[in-house]
Amino acid sequence: MANRAGTSGTAGESPEERRGAAGSVQSVDRAVSVLETLARLGEAGVTEMSEELGVHKSTAFRILGVLESRGLVGQEKERGKYFLGAGVLRLAGAAAIRLDISQEGQPVCRALAQDTGETANIAVLDGDAAVNIMQARGAAAVTAYNWLGRRTPLHATASGKVLLAHLPRDRREALIGRKPARFTAHTLTTAAGLRAQLTAAFEDGFACSVEELEVGLNAVAAPVRAHDGGVIGAIGVSGPAYRMERARLPELAERSARAAAELSRRMGYAD
């Protein structure tokens, strides 16, 4: 619906809010342009950057200062030249890992789904949750539920428990101490109980979830490792509890562990 004045904008926003939003978007665009320029040139001073952006030197200096405070650019103090900082490498590394595991995981995920007949998923850590980045359905997976892209709680899912079990102790304890939410009567929410499950997941090489996220849904998962041995994801299967019964979970966990070993090998890990 058009505004009365004929200008575009979000309903309910004042002219000042719209101008502020437009300015924020312009600032983001200029910050990205700075990073792209430094990637192309290697290094640049404030004057050169202001010319590249078509802005005043004070504006270029302010943008560079913000990016430097976040570690995305660095400055050669003697010459005053700016260059891409280590923060960019950190972001690029995280994106590369996710891209690599998605690419290498496709055939492994499909093979696991075919092997078990259930829905296979690959998940990675996303802050305080697990996000599913790959999914394949087996012949027995008759439901149309799509887990792809969904963020799921670490304490109530098999993949989440795997990722949580392999976090550094301080970070793991901080997440456990947040009083995890209860989703079903089976959700484990006590710190002591979670620690016991995570210790078992670490030692056994797999984790299980028995109707802890949704009633009637069971799952198993195993850790995927990078070349340095660090856990970068989890792969496993989920399905209805009447078909993925408790007695069947160890067998499915073993198959998931084999798939995890194969994907880890593809990611450069040599056991």
Under DSSP, the state recorded for 180 is P
Q: How confident is the model at residue 145 (pLDDT cuts 50, 70, 90)?
A: low
Query: CA 39 to CA 33: how far, in whole Å?
Result: 10
Q: Hunting for tokens 């050169």 — which residue is that?
A: 48
Kindly report the average pLDDT of the chain as a whole number: 86
**Which amino acid, 177?**
G
The DSSP H or E segment spanning 33 is: helix 15-41
- 207: Cβ–Cβ under 8 A, 6 or more apart, which residues? 158, 159, 161, 162, 165, 197, 200, 201, 220, 221, 222, 234
Query: CA 13 to CA 43: how far, in whole Å?
Result: 40
pLDDT for residue 123: 95
- What average pLDDT score do residues 10-22 get? 52
* Weakest mean pLDDT among 16-25, 77-86, 163-172: 16-25
pLDDT > 50? residue 126 = yes
Q: How confident is the model at residue 149 (pLDDT cuts 50, 70, 90)?
A: confident
- Domain extent listing, the chain: 15-94, 98-267
Task: Give percent above pLDDT 90 in the chain.
Answer: 56
pLDDT for residue 188: 92
Residue 250 near residue 236 (C-beta atoms within 8 A): no
Query: CA 36 to CA 23: how far, in whole Å?
Result: 20
Assign residue 220 a region: left if phi > 0, alpha if psi is -120 to 50, beta otherwise? beta
Locate 237 and state its tokens.
């299967």
pLDDT > 70? residue 240 = yes
Question: To the nearest 10°, the Cα dihedral for 235, 240, 246, 251?
Answer: -40
Q: Which fold has domain 15-94?
A: Arc Repressor Mutant, subunit A (1.10.10)
pLDDT for residue 14: 52
Length of the chain: 271
For 98-267, which CATH superfamily applies?
Answer: GAF domain (3.30.450.40)
Residue 97 near residue 86 (C-beta atoms within 8 A): no
pLDDT > 80? residue 217 = yes
